[in-house]
Amino acid sequence: MTKALEGVRVLDMTHVQSGPTCTQLLAWFGADVIKVERPGVGDITRGQLQDIPGVDSLYFTMLNHNKRSVTLDTKKEAGKKILTRLIEECDVMVENFAPGALDRMGFSWERIQEINPRIIYASVKGFGPGPFEDLKVYENVAQCTGGSASTTGFDDGPPTVTGAQIGDSGTGLHLAFGITTALYHRTVSGKGQRVECAMQDGVLNLCRVKLRDQQRLPHGPLTEYPQYPNTPFGDEVPRAGNASGGGQPGWAVQCKGGGANDYIYVIIQPPGWAPLMRTIGREELIEDPEWATPAKRLPKLDQCFAMIEEWTKTKTKYEVMGILNPLNVPCGPIMSMKELSEEQSLRDTGTIVEVDHPTRGKYLTVGNPVKLSDSPSDVTRSPHLGEHTDEILSQVVGYSAEEIEAAKAEGAV
C-alpha cells in the first residue's frame, strides 16, 4: 500500500509549533518533508524546555517526526541559490516566519511563483490583513485575540487560555487542509497557489459556537449558561464554566477519590433523565411536572447536577462510566495525561506511539490521529540538525561533491 501523499515534496521552512504541526501531518501521510534550519542553530524548540541536557527537546521531537533536516543560511548568496533550487524541486513550500521575513530574504510570493509556477506556498501568520498584520504571534496571543480566552473559564474568574493548542496546532491543521485542497486543485488547473491561514482566524473558526451565542444574546438570555436565571447577561458572550456549548446540558461533576481529575462530565439528554434519576435514587422527579421537561430543568441545572454529583461522589469516575454507559447517558471521565499515556487502546490504534531516538532513548508521542483505510501512516523519529544536508544537496539540489564542499566553505550549509 502506498502512502496517500507519496511523491509530494515539501520545502518546510517552519519553526516552533504551528508550521511544524502542518508539515508533520503531511509527512505522516507520506510527503517527503525537507526541513530547512539555520546552520548551528536550527529550530529554536530543539533547545527549549529541554528535559535532558544536550538532547533535542520533546517539544521539537514531537512536532518534527518523519522529516529530513537540511541546514541552510538563506541570507548568504550560496544559500539563496540552494533555496531557489529547492523551490524548483518542491511541490509545496510552508513557512511561519514573522511577517515579511521571507520577503526580506528576497523570496516574495511573486518571486517564488516565477521560480516554480506549480508550487503551493503556504503560510501561517498571527493575523490576516488589517491593523495587526505586522505582529509576531504565539499560541496564547492567538487564543486571546481569536475569542477563545474571553469565552473560557468561570464567570467570576479571569479570561483563561486552554491547554489544547488551538492557536498553533489548530492553525497548522487548517493550513494542511488548505495545502491538500490546493494540491487537488493543481491537478485540474496545473498551477500552484498561495495558501494563508491566520492564527486569529483559525481560533475564531474553532470558536464558531460562541459567535453564534453573541448573536443570540439580543434575543434573550442564554438559557443553557450557568448564569441563567440568576445573573443578568451583558452584551458580550460570558464565560460559561463547564457548561455544554450545545443544546444538551452538561457539567463536570466530582467523583470518589478527591484527586484533581476525579471528575466525570455528564450530559442530560432528554431520554437520559429517567434512567439518571432512577440510578441516583430520585425516581419521584421523573414525572414531576417541575422537573420532567428540558424547559423546566433549564433554570435549575445547577440543582440537577448537584443531585447527580451527590451520587457520583460515592463512585470512582470509571465506576460512574460503567453504570451510565449501558443506560445510554453520554458521559466521559476527565482523563489526565498520565492516564492517556497508559491507555492501551490508544497504543493499539497508533494514536499514542513509542518512538526510539538515538540520543534520547524511548519516548511517547501522539501519532497521526487521522486514519485512512487504504494509506498507511507510521511515525519515525525526528532528524538531528542537518542530518540529511549532504543527501538533499546531492539528490534533490543536484550538487556535486565539490559544490557541496564549496557551499560548506561559505558557511551556507
Ligand X SMILES: CC(C)(COP(=O)(O)OP(=O)(O)OC[C@H]1O[C@@H](n2cnc3c(N)ncnc32)[C@H](O)[C@@H]1OP(=O)(O)O)[C@@H](O)C(=O)NCCC(=O)NCCS
Per CB under 6 A, the list member of 5, 26, 36, 385 interacting with ligand X is: 36
Q: How many residues bind ligand X, per CB under 6 A? A: 23
CA–CA dist 410, 378 (Å, integer): 37
| Distance between first and last Cα of the chain | 36
**377 touches ligand X (CB under 6 A):** no
Residue of the chain from 136, 191, 212, 278 that contacts ligand X (CB under 6 A): 136
Identity of the residue, 126 or 178, whose beta carbon is nearer to ligand X in the bound complex:
126
Counting contacts by CB under 6 A, is residue 280 touching ligand X? no
Under rule CB under 6 A, residue 278 binds ligand X: no
Residue entry with cell 444538551: 248
Minimum Å distance from CB 11 to ligand X?
12
285 binds ligand X (CB under 6 A): no
- C-alpha 380/C-alpha 65 separation (Å) is 6
Q: Residue written as cell 499560541? A: 139
What is the four-CA torsion angle of 336, 340, 344, 346, rounded to 10 degrees? Answer: 150
Q: Tell me the catalytic residues.
A: 168
Burial class (CB in 10 A: 0-12, 13-18, 19+), 123: buried
Of residues 10, 11, 120, 124, which one binds ligand X by CB under 6 A?
Answer: 124
408 binds ligand X (CB under 6 A): no
Q: Which residue spans within 164-212 are E strands per DSSP?
A: 194-198
Applying CB under 6 A, among 168, 213, 224, 309 the residue interacting with ligand X is 168
* Binding-site member from 101, 292, 298, 366 for ligand X (CB under 6 A): 101
Nearest approach in angstroms of CB 342 to ligand X is 29
Q: Residue 16 CB, nearest distance to ligand X (Å)?
A: 3
Nearer to ligand X (CB atom), residue 63 or residue 243 = 63
Burial 71-101 (b: 16+ CB within 10 A, else e): bbbbebebbbebbbbbbebbbbbbbbbebee
Determine the 3-state secondary structure of 234 from DSSP: coil
From 25, 72, 93, 393, residue interacting with ligand X (rule: CB under 6 A): 72
Cβ atoms of 214 and 236 closer than 8 Å: yes
Determine, following the binding rule CB under 6 A, whether residue 111 of this chain makes contact with ligand X: no
**Rounded to the nearest whole angstrom, what is the least distance from the CB of residue 101 to ligand X in the complex?**
4
Mode of pairing for the β-strands spanning 92-95 and 120-125:
parallel
Given candidates 4, 5, 12, 17, which one binds ligand X under the rule CB under 6 A?
A: 17
For residue 130, what are the contacts with CB-CB under 8 A and spacing of at least 6?
none
- 32 or 73: whose CB is closer to ligand X? 73
Residues that bind ligand X (CB under 6 A): 16-19, 36, 38, 72-75, 96-98, 101, 104-105, 124-126, 136-138, 168
